[in-house]
Amino acid sequence: MILFMLDHFSLSATAARCAIALTAVAASTLMATAQTEPSFSTIENSAIESLSARSLTRSIPLREIGLNDGARLQGLGASREFYFPLPRGLKYKASLVLTYETATSLESRRSIEVLSGERSILLKQLSATPERQTIRLPLEGLDTSSGFAKISVRYGHVLPDNRCVDIRFAGDHLTIMPETSLELAFDKSAIESVASALTLMPRDVTVYLPGRELDSREFAAALEAARALRESGRRVKFDTMPGADATAKFSNGNMLPSAATLAFMPRGQVPFATQTDGPANWAQGAVLIASREDLELLAANSRAPLFRSGGKPDTSASSLSLINFGAGPAILVSGPDPQSAARLIGSAWQAAAVKSTVSSGAEAWQSRDEGRFTFDRLRTDLTPRDVVDRAQWSITIASKDLPVQRKLSGLRLHVAVAPDEANKNAVVTAFFNERMMQAVATPSDMRAQLAFDIPEGLAGLNNSLRLVVQRQPQGGECATMPLGFPAQLLGSSEIITTPAAEAPRDFFEMASHFRDGVTLFVESRNAFQQRGHLAMLTELAGNLVPARAPVSVRFLDEDAAAQSAGPFMAISARAPENAEPAVRFDQGRAVIKGPEGRTIADLGGLKNATVAQLVRAGLNQGLWIRTAAAEEDLVPPSQLQLDRGNVAILDKNGVAFAFSTERDRLIEVVYPDRLSLADIANAYRPWVVGALWLAFSLLVVMSVHRFYARGRGGKAA
C-alpha cells in the first residue's frame, strides 16, 4: 500500500478573497443566529450511532499517512489536500475529526473551508485571537472510487483597504494538527478480500508466531511479512500466539516464556477473538504464521468463531487467508511454502487479491543492472507545486534502490517552471544530504537542468535530495496579491551510478550487493532466540535488502560456521567459514585506538557484546552479527540502522558505536591481554631503542679500542 500526500499552495486575487471571507462571515453569522441549526457538538456521534456488535471503528490519523507533524498553512492563503487510502466498494459511516491551531499578527478577516472531494462540508470564520479547536464533521457519500478519500483544507485572508503585505512575513498560520483523523465505522463482514484487509490494516501490526520452534520456511515467511509491512510504513513487532505458551518448550525442556517476558517485544492486548456488545475499535493489525495444527490449537482457545463465514481456510496450499482475530480481520499465512504466500503482502499485484483466500505462485525477479534510472521509477511525490515565492520537493534515495553492485555517483535533474506574469526567471537550487550542490536560473524556455556529481563519501544509507524553486514576488503598490504559477520536478530526472568496489568498505554499500538475493544464516537454539533474531533481521533487512530481492533462510547448528555461495547475512557465534573478521572474540579485552595510538574506547571483554561487521568469506561478501552470549542481552531492533563503517557495537538502544578499520587506518582494534612481539616492542619502544643504542655504542668503543691496541702492539715490535 503506497501512502502519499499532495501539497498545493495557491494565492488568489483580492476580490476573490473578499468574496470567500464575506461568505464565511455570513455563514458563521447564520449559524450563530439560527436556533434550529444543530451545533458541532450535537452531531459529534452521529456518524457511529446505531452500530451493532458486528461493526468496526477505525481511526486513520494524519500520522498514519506520513504527516507526523501535521500540516501548516500560511502566507495569507493556502490549501492542502490529504488522501486517506480506503478500499473501493465498502460502505462507511465516516466523519472527519479536525483539530487545528490558528494565530495571526495582522488585522484581517480569516476563513477556513473543508471539502470532501469537491463538496464543501465546512465554511467558517476564524477568530482574531489565537485558538485551538476540534470539530467533528460528518462525511456523507464519501467517494472512494479512486481507492482514496480526498479531503481538502483551504485557508484565506481578507485585508482591509486592499493593503499590500509581503506574504513571507505575514506572521499568520493555520496548523492542522497530527491528531486530525478520518474516523470510519463499517460492518466487519464487509471486508471480504485480502486486499481490503491489507489496505485498512492499522499502522501497528503484530506478526504472531507459534510457540514452537519455526522451520526455515516459516522463519522466512515471518521475515517476508514483516519486511513488506515495514515497507508500507507500518510498525511491526513479533509475539507468540495466545494459547501456544502452554505447549511450547525450549529445546532443553524449559517452558517458552510468553512475549510479556521479552523486554524488546512489548505485549499489547491479548488478541483472542471475542464478542462485544458495541462496535470494536480496530487499532492493532495482525498477521499469523501458522500450520494446520497451530490453527486448530488457536481455534480451540478462541472464545468466538475464528473462521469466517466462508469456512476453514485450506492450509494445503500456500496462501493468504482472512480470519477473525482480535477486533478486526487478520491475515493468515499458511501452506507448504509460506514464504511465497507472505511475499504477496508486498507484491505489486496486491490490489488484485479480491478474494478471502489468495494462493501464491512463482514470481520472477529481475534486478536492474543498468547504470542509470529515472525518478518515475522511484516511489516519490513528483506532483506540481504552485510557486509564489518558493516551492520545494524532498526525495529520499535509498542505497537499496540502486542497481546491483553500483554506487551513487551523480544526479541529472529536469525542472519545468511556468513563467509568471512578469516573465521573471526562477532560481532552482539542489541540496544533497543538506549540502548545496548546484543552483541555476531558469532560461527563456523555463526548463532548468541541473547536473552534478556526488563527491566520494557524501552518499550513505538513506540520502536526501531537496530541490527548491524560488522567485521574487511582485512588489510595490500592488492592487492584487501575487498569483502562484506551477513548477514540476520531471520524472525524466536521472540517478547516475558507477560500479561499486568489489569489497564494500561500509555497511550501506552492501545494499546493492543484496539486490540479486541474500542468504540468511541463523543460529537457532530455541524459539526464544528465533524471536530475537527475527526482530533484528527485520530491521537490518528492511534497510539493506531491496523489497523484492529473494531471501533464503538456513538454520545453523550451535557453534557451526556459515558456508555461503553468495551475498549473506549470518547471525551466529562463530564467524563464517574462511572469514577474517576485523574484530575477534578470542583475544580477550578489546581496545579501540585512534590516530597516534590514542585510546578511543575500552570495550572490555566482547563475550557479552553484540557486534556487527562486514566480512569476506572466500569470494563472498556478507554481514556477520555475533550476538551476546546471554539470551537476555539480545539487542532490540529499534532504530537499528547500519550506515557507515565496517564494524558496529550494538546495545539495547541500537547502534552504540560504529567505525571503520580500513579507511586510512584511522581506527585500530588492539587486544592488550594478548600481546604480540610487535605490541611489546611498540609498548617498550624507548627502552628498546635505548638498549640498542647502548649496545651499538659499546660495539663501536670496543672496535676502536681493539684498533688502537693492535696499533700500539705493532709499533713496539
User: Tens of pLDDT along 298-334?
Assistant: 888 777 788 877 677 877 888 898 888 888 899 999 9
Task: For cell 562486514, name the residue.
Answer: 614
Please say whether the beta carbons of 229 and 287 come within 8 A.
yes
Q: What is the mean predicted confidence (pLDDT) over 543-551?
A: 86
Tell me how far apart the alpha carbons of residues 271 and 254 are, in angstroms, rounded to a whole number: 25
Q: Classify each residue of 160-188 as buried b or exposed e, where b means 16 or more C-beta atoms within 10 Å of its C-beta.
A: eeeebbebeebebbbbbbbebbbbbbbbb
Q: Which of 222, 213, 183, 193 is nearest to 57 (CA)?
A: 183
Could you tell me if 634 and 264 are in contact, meaning their C-beta atoms sit under 8 angstroms apart? Answer: yes
Q: Kindly state the helix (H) or strand (E) to which residue 542 belongs, with its residue range.
A: helix 527-544
Q: Predicted confidence band at 360 (pLDDT cuts at 50, 70, 90)? A: low
Which tops the pLDDT comparison, 353 or 534?
534
Of residues 580, 560, 572, the one with CA closest to residue 520: 572
- Residue 148, classified by CB atoms within 10 Å of its CB into exposed (0-12), middle (13-18) or buried (19+), is middle
Q: Are strands 328-334 and 319-325 parallel, antiparallel or unpaired?
A: antiparallel
* Strand-strand pairing, 620-626 and 610-617: antiparallel
Q: Does residue 504 surpass a pLDDT of 50?
A: yes
The CATH fold of domain 375-474+482-498: Jelly Rolls (2.60.120)
3-state secondary structure of 653: coil
At 232, list the grid cell.
Answer: 508500507
DSSP codes, 590-613? EEEE-GGG-EEEEEE-STT-EEEE
- Predicted confidence at residue 271, as pLDDT, reads 46
Which H or E run contains 714? helix 685-716
Closest CA to 592 of 640, 661, 656: 661
Would you say 409 and 418 are in contact if contact means Cβ atoms under 8 Å apart?
A: no
1-190: CATH, from 2.60.40.10, 3.40.50.1970, 3.40.50.300, 2.60.120.260:
2.60.120.260
> Cell 585506538, residue?
593
Cell match 504559477: residue?
485
List 386's β-bridge partners, or say none: 486
Burial zone of 360 (CB within 10 Å; 0-12 exposed, 13-18 middle, 19+ buried) = buried
pLDDT of 42 > 80? The answer is no
- Rounded distance between C-alpha atoms, residue 184 and residue 5, angstroms: 20
Per-residue confidence band for 106, with pLDDT thresholds at 50, 70 and 90: confident
Residue 247 has pLDDT above 60, yes or no: no
H or E element, residue 204:
strand 204-209
For the beta carbon of residue 305, count every other beta carbon within 10 angstroms: 12
Residue pair 121/152 in contact by the 8 Å Cβ criterion: no
Q: Which residue has the higher pLDDT, 305 or 181?
A: 181
Contacts of 398 (CB under 8 A, 6+ apart): 461, 462, 463, 511, 543
Helices (H), 552-675: none
Q: How many CB atoms lie within 10 A of CB 411?
A: 24
Instruction: Using the CB atoms, write b or e for 118-141: b if 16+ within 10 Å.
Output: eeebbbbbbeeeeeeeebbbbbee
Same fold, 1-190 and 375-474+482-498: yes
Sketch the domain layout of the chain as residue ranges.
Answer: 1-190, 191-359, 375-474+482-498, 507-674, 683-716
Picking from 208-217, 350-359, 548-557, which range would have the lowest pLDDT averaged per residue? 350-359
Residue located via cell numbers 581496545: 591
At 438, is the pLDDT very low, low, confident or very high (cuts 50, 70, 90)? very high
- Quick one: what percent of the chain has pLDDT higher than 90? 23
Contact 398, 510 (CB under 8 A): no
Name the pairing type of β-strands 551-556 and 518-523: parallel
Residue that wins the pLDDT comparison between 381 and 181: 181
CB 524, CB 530: distance < 8 Å: yes
What integer pLDDT is reported at residue 5 of this predicted model? 38
What is the average pLDDT score of the chain? 77
Task: Please give the single-letter amino acid code of residue 221.
Answer: A
Give the span between the Cα atoms of 335 and 319, in whole angstroms: 6
Radius of gyration of the chain from its Cα atoms, rounded to whole angstroms: 33
Separation CA 590–CA 673 (nearest Å): 8
Q: Which has more pLDDT, 383 or 538?
A: 538
From CA 368, how far away is CA 196, in angstroms rounded?
A: 31
Q: What pLDDT score does 261 carry?
A: 32
Name the DSSP class of 579.
B
Cβ atoms < 10 Å from Cβ of 281: 14
Lowest average pLDDT, out of 21-30, 139-148, 534-543, goes to 21-30
Contact present, 225 and 231 (Cβ < 8 Å): no
pLDDT for residue 249 is more than 80: no
Longest dimension (CA), the chain: 144
Pick the more confident residue, 366 or 679.
Answer: 679
| CB 443, CB 505: distance < 8 Å | no
What does residue 216 show for φ and ψ, rounded to 5 degrees? -65, -35
Read off the pLDDT of residues 583-613 as tens digits, 9 standing for 90 and up.
887 777 778 777 777 777 776 666 667 889 9
- Decide if 3 contacts 232 (C-beta within 8 A): yes
pLDDT at 677: 61
